[in-house]
Structure 1
Amino acid sequence: MLELHQFELSHYCEKIRLILDYKGLPYRKVEVTPGIGQLDVYRLSGQRQVPVLKDGAEVIADSTAIALYLDQKYPDRPILPADPQQRALCLLMEEWADESIGLNARKMMLWAFSQNPDFRAAALPTNTPSFLKSLVEAVPREALDLLGSGAGFGSDSVRSARRAMEQTLDSLTTLLTDRPYLIAEYPTLADFAVAGLTMYAKFPAGLYLQIPETLKGKGVPGLADNPKYQPFWEWRDRLYREYRQTSIPVGTTPGTTASGPTSINIE
């Protein structure tokens, strides 16, 4: 069976989960513990980032490489158009989504966590003791701003990321007016990249991700709740309803029950 080495709360991993579900491929999720667990990923793939897909003796790292491998190895329900021009546009849009949405949505999500104590508390597991939730909520915003600046997420960077995400959502909303998908009459790699990578702007509601219930359906203020972007979020909700499978506990296979760790690490 396919093994997806992942962080549950990784938007690049979510892109691959969407593709696996669309193709109807059974797979086992292997949750990677940030830090020490990435040593195992390195021994497996020669690098430390997720997602990593293991298919028998084949080990593939990087979400784009995994997507292309899956479409070649498992050609049913293709995610790359046969038409050369549509295929070229699909690959260009997927690359843009990786580099633009992937980076800017992450910055906006980290900004939202730093600005909103309720949002920070919502990201904690539901069984977190109340005193620990209170500590998380009480962390001064100035301290988080200082940490963000040191990590390259200062105010100028955040403003630039917001402008980029607003332009992205404006463009996507316009592109999806009166058409079911971005490139073709069926979903392609471009659709799954955009849907998965916008996860940090707004987490999908429902049983798709193993994250705290209080975080589902929440997102970055001004992006997740702006009425003019509502057509885009409705499009993404439809994509999830039609193709994304509901989540099963980490470390299990369909038809089994077990429990496992859930990572809330944004990497």
Structure 2
Amino acid sequence: MLALYQFEASTYAEKVRLILDYKQLPYQKVDVTPGVGQVEVFQMSGQRQVPVLKDGDQIIPDSTAIALHLERTYPDRPILPTDPKQRGLCLALESWADEAIVPNARKVMIGAFKQHPNFRTALLPTATPDLLRNLVGALPGDILNLVGTGVGFGPDDIKVAATALKQDLDALCLMLENSPYLLGNQPTLADFAVAAATMYLKFPDRQYVDLPEGICGKGVPGLADVPEYQAVFDWRDRLYGEFRTPRTDVPPPSASSASGPTPISID
């Protein structure tokens, strides 16, 4: 069976999981512990990043390389167009998602994370001890802003990222205006890459990913709740509903988490 070495909340791992589900390929998830667990990944693949796919004797790092390997090795339900121009557009859109949307989405999510303690604690794993949860929630936003400044996650960096994402969402709305998928009537690698990239802007409305209770359907205000961008999230949720396999081991939501994190502003 295929084995995917991953971080559960990684958008790049989510891109691969979407493709595996679309191609209806059974696989085993191997959750990698940051730091210690990455030693094993390095020994196996010669680098420390995830996702890494183990397919028999083959070890494939990098989500794009994994996608292309899956397309070559398991050609049923293809994810690359046969037309050269469409194929080129597909690869360009995948690169755009990976290199532009994901880094900026990470910045605005961290901006939301920094500004409101309820959002901060909602993103912690369910098993986090109360002492640590309370400590994370009590950290002042100004302190977190100070830490982020100079390393690409200060307030100005987050505002620049938000502006870029608004343009990206406008572009996606135009692409989807008269089309069920980004490149026509069939989903491609471009759809799965962009859909995964939007996870940090608005989490899927069901527990497809092992994330804390109450986070489903929540997103970054000013982006996830703008009516003009709703077409993007409707397309993303439809793609998930059609092709992504939801988790079956989800516990019922507790009363304390039913309301989810409090919406906040990134200004």
Aligned pairs, number: 250
Relative contact order: is structure 1 or structure 2 higher (C-alpha 8 Å, sep ≥ 6)? 1
* 1:123-181: CA deviation from partner (whole Å, max 9, x where unpaired): 12334454543322211001110111143212222121111111011110121112100
State the partner residue of 1:242. 242
Q: How does 1:184-195 map to 2 (within 5 A)?
A: 184-195=184-195
Instruction: Answer whether contact 1:13 1:50 (CA < 8 A) is retained.
Output: yes
1:168 aligns with 2:131: no
**In 2, Cα distance between equivalents of 1:129 and 1:181:** 42
1:109 partner amino acid = M
For the residues of structure 2 that align with 1:184 and 1:66, how far apart are their CA atoms? 23
Q: Tell me the equivalent position of 1:133.
A: 133
CA change 1:128–1:48 in 2 (3 A) is: closer
Q: How does 1:102-113 map to 2 (within 5 A)?
A: 102-113=102-113
Q: For residue 191 of structure 2, what is the amino acid of its counterpart? A: D
Tell me the distance in 1 between the aligned counterparts of 2:24 and 2:80. 16
2:61 aligns to what? Answer: 61
Could you tell me how far apart the structure 2 residues matched to 1:49 and 1:216 are?
26
Give the distance between the partners of 1:161 and 1:207, measured in 2 at CA. 27
Moved more, 45-54 or 172-181: 172-181
Q: Equivalent residue for 2:43? A: 43
SS of the counterpart of 1:4?
strand
Range that drifts further, 78-87 or 220-229: 220-229
Partner of 1:25: 25
Separation in 2 of the partners of 1:128 and 1:45? 31
Corresponding position of 2:34: 34
Number of the residue aligned with 2:114: 114
Q: How far apart, in 2, do the equivalents of 1:5 and 1:91 lie? A: 24
1:208 Cα offset (Å): 0.3
User: Partner residue of 1:7?
Assistant: 7
The amino acid across from 2:176 in the alignment is L
- Taking only the aligned residue pairs, the percentage that are identical comes to 60
1:78–1:188 Cα contact (<8 Å) kept: yes
**Contact residue 3 and residue 29 of structure 1 kept, 8 A:** yes
Secondary structure class of the residue paired with 1:34: coil
Task: Please give the TM-score of this superposition, normalised by the length of structure 1.
Answer: 0.90
Query: Could you tell me how far apart the structure 2 residues matched to 1:236 and 1:193 are?
Result: 11
Aligned residue type for 2:182: L
Name the CA distance, whole Å, in 1 between partners of 2:248 and 2:19. 16
Q: CA separation in 1, counterparts of 2:123 and 2:194?
A: 23
Secondary structure, counterpart of 2:149 in structure 1: helix
| Cα distance between partner residues in 2 of 1:122 and 1:44 | 34
Match of 2:256 in 1: none
Aligned-residue CA RMSD (Å): 1.5
1:219 corresponds in structure 2 to 219
Partner of 2:84: 84
Distance 1:49 1:27, change over 3 A: same
After TM superposition, the score normalised by the length of structure 2 is: 0.90
Q: Which residue of 1 aligns with 2:254?
A: none
Report deviation, 1:247. Answer: 2.3
Contact 2:111 2:155 in 1 (8 A): no
**Cα deviation 1:38-78 (Å, max 9, x = unaligned):** 11110010000010000000000111000001000000000
Q: Are the aligned partners of 2:20 and 2:26 in contact in 1 as well (CA < 8 Å)?
A: yes
CA distance in 1, matches of 2:182, 2:96: 13
1:32 and 1:38 in contact (8 A); partners too: yes
